[in-house]
Amino acid sequence: MSDPIVALLMLGFFLFIILLGFPIAFTLMAMAIMFGYYAYFDADRMWRAYHKAVESGADQWTQWELWIDGLFNNRVFDLFVNQTYSVMANDVLTAVPLFLFMGYIVERANIVSRLFHTLNIAARHVPGSMAVAALITCTLFATATGIVGAVVTLMGLLAFPAMLKARYDTSLAAGVICAGGCLGILIPPSIMLIVYAAASGVSIVKLYAGALFPGLLLAGLYLIYVVSRTILQPQLAPKPTREEIGEHTVPQIMLLLLTSFFPLAFLILAVLGSILFGLATPSEAAAIGALGGLVLAAAYRALTWQRLRESVYLTVRTTAMVCWLFVGSWTFASVFSYLGGEQVISEFVTGLPISPLMFLILAQLIIFLLGWPLEWSEIIIIFVPIFLPLLPHFGIDPLFFGILVALNLQTSFLTPPMAMSAYYLKGIAPAHVQLTQIFRGSYPYIFLVLIAMIVLYNVPAITTWLPEQIYGR
How many domains, in total, are found in the chain?
A: 1
Question: Taking the alpha carbons of 174, 177, 180, 184 in that order, is the dihedral positive or negative?
Answer: negative
Interval 331-342 mean pLDDT: 82
Q: What pLDDT sits at residue 245?
A: 61
Amino acid sitting at position 228: S
pLDDT bucket at 64, cuts 50 / 70 / 90: low
Is residue 86 in a domain? no
Helices (H), 201-245: 204-232, 242-245
pLDDT bucket at 417, cuts 50 / 70 / 90: low
Q: How many CA atoms lie within 13 A of 284 on its CB side?
A: 9
Q: What angle do CA 225, 227, 229 make, to 5 degrees?
A: 65
Considering 118-132, 335-349, 414-428, the range whose residues carry the highest mean pLDDT is 118-132
Is residue 79 in a domain? no
Q: What pLDDT sits at residue 462?
A: 93
Interval 159-173 mean pLDDT: 88
pLDDT bucket at 58, cuts 50 / 70 / 90: low
- Looking at the predicted structure, is the pLDDT value of residue 49 above 70? no
Is residue 2 in a domain? no
Is residue 41 in a domain? no
Contacts 24+ apart (CB under 8 A), 314-321: 314/100, 314/104, 315/97, 315/100, 315/101, 315/104, 316/97, 318/100, 318/147, 319/96, 319/97, 319/100, 321/25, 321/377
Q: How far apart are CA 38 and CA 10, in angstroms?
A: 11
Q: What pLDDT sits at residue 147?
A: 66
Q: Higher model confidence: residue 123 or residue 444?
A: 444
Q: What pLDDT sits at residue 289?
A: 85
Sequence-distant (6+) residues with CB within 8 A of 194 are 92, 93, 95, 96, 99, 204, 282
Q: How far apart are CA 322 and CA 209, in angstroms?
A: 23
What phi and psi, each to the nearest 5 degrees, are found at residue 354? Answer: -120, 150
pLDDT tens for each residue of 211-259: 989 999 999 999 999 999 999 998 998 887 666 566 666 677 777 877 7
Q: How far apart are CA 136 and CA 133, in angstroms?
A: 5
Supply the mean pLDDT for the chain: 82
Q: What percent of the chain has pLDDT over 70?
A: 88
- Looking at the predicted structure, is the pLDDT value of residue 145 above 80? no
Interval 6-31 mean pLDDT: 82
Instruction: Give DSSP secondary structure letters for 405-419.
Output: HHHHHHHHTTSTTS-
pLDDT tens for each residue of 284-299: 888 888 888 888 888 8
pLDDT bucket at 171, cuts 50 / 70 / 90: very high
Is residue 390 in a domain? yes
Sequence-distant (6+) residues with CB within 8 A of 149 are 420, 424
Is residue 288 in a domain? yes
Q: How far apart are CA 183 and CA 217, in angstroms?
A: 11
Closest CA to 386 of 30, 76, 14: 14
Interval 270-294 mean pLDDT: 84
Is residue 3 in a domain? no
Is residue 276 in a domain? yes
Between 24-28, 78-82, 109-113, 465-469, the lowest mean confidence (pLDDT) is in 109-113
Q: Using the 8-state DSSP alphabet, how is residue 215 labeled? A: H
Question: Taking the alpha carbons of 251, 253, 259, 263 in that order, is the dihedral positive or negative?
Answer: negative
Q: What pLDDT sits at residue 400?
A: 93
Between 42-51, 230-239, 277-286, 370-379, the lowest mean confidence (pLDDT) is in 42-51
Q: What pLDDT sits at residue 373?
A: 67
Give the domain range for residue 399: 92-303+340-471
